[in-house]
């Protein structure tokens, strides 16, 4: 399967990198690379992570990586990375509007 990142997910990478870079620019680069690799690893077995609580009805799964949550959807031929947010942040189905999930 191929991995596709939404514009919102790309913006999340940027925000996470900027936040970490305020204290440690070198770590910001390596951590964003690690997050991206965690996303790309979903290609081999995307259903191994559970459907996200309160998002089951719209088929969104959640994978944790360190303190971050990767929200994604498995389509027939691709895995769509929807959002990457700090694990303390709860998202609901309104966070995944059609414009943000394509």
Domains present along the chain, CATH in parentheses: 2-100 (3.30.2310.20)
**Full-model pTM:** 0.87
Question: Which token pair is 8?
Answer: 């919102």
pLDDT tens-digit map of 24-46: 999 999 999 999 999 999 999 99
pLDDT of residue 100: 43
The CB-based long-range contact list for 71-76 (8 Å cut-off, 24+ gap) reads 71/96, 72/39, 72/42, 72/46, 73/101, 74/1, 74/46, 74/47
pLDDT of residue 54: 87
> What averages of pLDDT result for each successive group of 10 residues across the chain (102 residues)?
95 95 95 97 95 91 94 96 84 57 44
pLDDT of residue 95: 67
Q: What CA–CA distance (Å, rounded) separates 60 from 78?
A: 13
Q: What CA–CA distance (Å, rounded) separates 29 from 47?
A: 28
């Amino acid at each position: 399967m191929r991995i596709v990142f939404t514009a919102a997910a790309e913006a999340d990478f940027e925000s996470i990198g900027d936040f970490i870079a305020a204290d440690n620019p070198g770590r910001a680069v390596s951590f964003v690379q690690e997050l991206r690799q965690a996303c790309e690893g979903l290609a081999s077995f995307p259903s191994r992570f559970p459907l996200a609580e309160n998002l089951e009805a719209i088929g969104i799964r959640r994978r944790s990586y360190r303190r971050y949550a990767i929200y994604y959807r498995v389509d027939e031929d691709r895995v769509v990375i929807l959002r990457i947010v700090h694990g303390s942040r709860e998202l609901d189905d309104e966070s995944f509007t059609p414009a943000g999930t394509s």
